A and B are shown apart, each in its own frame.
Chain A
Amino acid sequence: MRANCVEILLVEDNPNDVKLAMHAFETHNMANSVHVARDGAEALEFIFCTDRYADRKIHSGPKMILLDLKLPLVDGIEVLRRAKGDPRTQRIPIVVMTSSKEDRDIVESYKLGVNSYIVKPVDFGQFTDAVKQLGYYWLLLNQSPIAGP
């Protein structure tokens, strides 16, 4: 059901961080709707449905991108620029994940149109706050049947 309707794209190369984030989503039964890209190149392929993700349809998501900025192959800023620079994808909310709130890249990413940021490790509380802050309640509501008891 959720296989080709990915709700969240998590772009993160650090396996520990992926694990920790996935643990948070699993705890809230959202892990099924999260797709992980391990580098910037894979993220772009997924977003624009090319190469490894050529069979995907561009209009089918994701509903949100959680983006680390320090990535192999293509860095996060570039991914951000491309996603926000394309009319087909520019409306996808992007939340930057940073290791420090002092990070100067945050400023740069805001200039490129990022919607919010959260400091790693990503726990569900922070994620929820960011989503609420952005006004994307639908994302949470959408998940609530699955997340329900």
Chain B
Amino acid sequence: MQAANGKHRGFATPVQDVPESGTAGNSSLPLNEELLRLAVGGMPDYAIIMLDPQGRVGTWNAGAERIKGYRAEEIIGHHFSCFHTDEAIQQGWPKTELARATAEGRFEDEGWRVRKDGSKFWANVIITALRDDTGDLKGFSKVTRDLTERKLAEDAIRKLNAELEERVRERTAELHAAVDERRRAEGKFQLVVESAPNAMVMIDRDGRIILINAQTEKLFGYMRDELLGQPVELLVPKRFRSQHPEYRTSFLANPAARAMGVGRDLFGQRKDGSEFPVEIGLTPIESDEGLLVLSAIVDITERKRAEQKFRLAVESAPNGMLMINAEGRIVLINAQTEKLFGFARDELLGQPVELLVPARYREKHPEYRIGFFGDPAARSMGTGRDLYGQRKDGSEFPVEIGLMPIETEEGRLVLAAIVDITERKRAQEEIRKFSEGLEQRVAERTALLESANKELEAFSYTVSHDLRAPLRAIDGFSRIVMEDFAPLLPAEAKNYLQDVRANTLRMGELVDDLLSFARLSRQPVNKEFVAPQWIVTQCLEELQSQKNGRRVEIRVAELPPCQADPSLLKQVWFNLISNALKYTGKRETALIEIGCQPSAEPQQQVYFVKDNGVGFNMRYAHKLFGVFQRLHASEDYEGTGVGLAIVQRIVNRHGGRIWAEAAPDKGATFFFTLGEGSTNAR
């Protein structure tokens, strides 16, 4: 009841008091109480309440109800300390508030307050002491605003500010560190540039030189001070100078580390005006002063010279020379290659090398090529295969190809030397045909010789058997006649029969000698180590009969051993000594010297048999060694005329020589050698 009533009246009373407070308004101002009541009651954002001098709630408006959660009937009459936190109450804060408002007339506070449901809100509180005209304390007005949101926003802002400040501090520290780092880096950078093995030049956006190293001074012949601040074009030959800024600009427009002037030949110019070929690498560098460009400059004079030499060598090579890169494209050829394949240089450069390979091998070729690049070593191509090249006109020709890997800055290249072997093949073919023909002819000739030899053998056999048979018969029957019919024959008949027998005997000897001479040409020469001394001694013993009844002086010198067929060599010595004995037959004292002397030819001895016999005229010396040739009448000196022919044939078959020196009636000397290496000449 009180509440329902008091709602209006309750309000009316304090509102009435407001003008009297001296703070809120002028007591002299006429206020419409109803308006004030309405105004206070309708202010939803402000809790406006009256407290009695003890702090008990006297009035309650809608704002108070909204903010604090109490309805008027629930709270009126209760002490306002229920709006405080427990901590504030323990500290006696409600009393302090009232005391200070009492003392100062007005007290303002901000702090945590408590709602009916126990939740807290941040409140702005203004407590004003209300006094009557006499100054007696009548109570307090209390205006409360809920500032929780503002408080939270403020807190957030504060926190943000703190964070911001922290970040500012950190960032500042970072910046300091970065500056230090930059300073160190710049120092390092300059050191690196300075110690680089190449000339290095850094320019700014305007193309002015801002940094160079000692190598640059050396390379271009300038002092550092002469270059710093100058346009980089100072280092460019005059003829390129005008174009250079344009290139520079285009680099700056699209800066990326790359080589300068790809495809162009670059030159530097020294202070003295001389030029030299260079290779330049460009690197853009972002800096505080804007985009800079660092260029590394290499003097490639030597390399160019080497390249030039290489090109000259390739060009002047007598073979086709061709260089390909890893993709199999032709990067270099010489004039011979043009000539060989019928292509012009421009038609080949940049083309796949398979262009020169006959179509039937073309598919396989890249495989071989890649294989070689993978395992390169100088070698000939396609060992064991026949290789062919194909000319522009499609014709093929046989080739021989040598491959050599070359490591270059552009990567691995392969140099191929190509020889057209058409002529060689033709020559080989001719040689092959020729030798086939030759072999054929040799075979034919051999067959002819073999058959001739067989015929000769057959002939010899025939001679030995058939020619001899009639002789045997003549001699045999003559002998029978002489023996069985001796008493019936006159002496003259017996003499004639004797002559018949002597002649058949002689013919037998002739046949024998002829046979042994013929046999010499087919009999093999079996050389062995023999002692001529011993052979000569043997011969002299066997020839004893020829010495009988004569005065013969034979001097045999020391004869070194030699390589010869013993039985054939014996025949030589036998015949020569026999001849010497024979042709000294009419000397009172026969003198025969046997010896040897060094030869002009290497490792040979000259053996000789010298006699003091009848000798002969050297005019007929050429007839000496012919078969059946005789220089003396057989009546004077018996013999068949085959002996020296046999001797010469034996000597020749040993690879030696035989010759004679003589004069009529002054004796003769026969010399012979036995071929190279037959003796160890002392």
Q: Which residues of A contact B (CB under 8 A)?
A: 14, 16-17, 19-20, 23, 70, 99-100, 102-103, 120-121
A16–B512 Cα gap in the complex (Å)? 21
Q: Which of A70, A102, A120, A121 contacts B512 (CB 8 A)?
A: A102
A99–B463 Cα gap in the complex (Å)? 10
A20 adjacent to B469 (CB under 8 Å): no
B469 adjacent to A103 (CB under 8 Å): no
Q: Which of B465, B473, B519 contacts A20 (CB 8 A)?
A: B473
Contacts A/B (CB < 8 Å), 24 sampled: A14-B469, A16-B472, A16-B476, A16-B477, A17-B469, A17-B473, A19-B477, A20-B476, A20-B477, A20-B480, A23-B476, A70-B461, A70-B465, A99-B464, A99-B465, A99-B469, A100-B465, A100-B468, A100-B512, A100-B515, A102-B464, A102-B516, A120-B468, A120-B472
Q: Which 4 A-B pairs have the closest CB atoms?
A: A16-B473, A20-B476, A99-B468, A121-B476
A100–B476 Cα gap in the complex (Å)? 16
A-B contact count (CB 8 A): 46
B338 in contact (CB, < 8 A): no
- What is the interface of chain B mostly: helix, strand, loop, or mixed? helix
A11–B515 Cα gap in the complex (Å)? 25
Q: Output the least CB separation between A101 and chain B (Å).
A: 9
A121 adjacent to B475 (CB under 8 Å): yes
B469 adjacent to A16 (CB under 8 Å): yes
Question: Can you name the residue of chain B whose Cβ is closest to the Cβ of A103?
Answer: B464
Q: Which residues of A contact B516 (CB under 8 A)?
A: 102
Q: Output the least CB separation between B507 and chain A (Å).
A: 13
Q: Which residues of A contact B464 (CB under 8 A)?
A: 99-100, 102-103
Q: Output the least CB separation between A123 and chain B (Å).
A: 8
Q: Output the least CB separation between A67 and chain B (Å).
A: 14
A103–B473 Cα gap in the complex (Å)? 19
Q: Output the least CB separation between B431 and chain A (Å).
A: 42
Q: Which residues of B contact A17 (CB under 8 A)?
A: 469, 472-473
Within residues 496 to 520 of chain B, which ones have a CB less than 8 A from any CB in chain A?
A: 511-512, 515-516, 519
Q: Output the least CB separation between B297 and chain A (Å).
A: 97
Q: Which residues of A contact B477 (CB under 8 A)?
A: 16, 19-20
- Given contacts A20-B472, A102-B515, list 14 more A-B pairs with CB under 8 A: A19-B476, A20-B473, A20-B480, A70-B465, A99-B464, A99-B465, A100-B515, A102-B464, A102-B512, A102-B519, A121-B472, A121-B473, A121-B475, A121-B476
Question: Can you name the residue of chain A whose Cβ is closest to the Cβ of B511?
Answer: A100
A99–B508 Cα gap in the complex (Å)? 10
Interface string of B128-161 (1 = CB under 8 A from A): 0000000000000000000000000000000000
A100–B464 Cα gap in the complex (Å)? 7
A102–B469 Cα gap in the complex (Å)? 15
A14–B519 Cα gap in the complex (Å)? 25
Q: Which residues of A contact B512 (CB under 8 A)?
A: 100, 102
Name which of A14, A17, A70, A121 has the most chain B CB atoms within 10 A of its CB: A121
Q: Which residues of B contact A23 (CB under 8 A)?
A: 476, 480
Q: Which residues of B contact A16 (CB under 8 A)?
A: 469-470, 472-473, 476-477
Q: Output the least CB separation between B646 and chain A (Å).
A: 13
Q: Which residues of B contact A120 (CB under 8 A)?
A: 468-469, 472
A20–B477 Cα gap in the complex (Å)? 7
Q: Which residues of B contact A100 (CB under 8 A)?
A: 464-465, 468, 511-512, 515
Q: Output the least CB separation between B142 and chain A (Å).
A: 164
A85–B512 Cα gap in the complex (Å)? 33
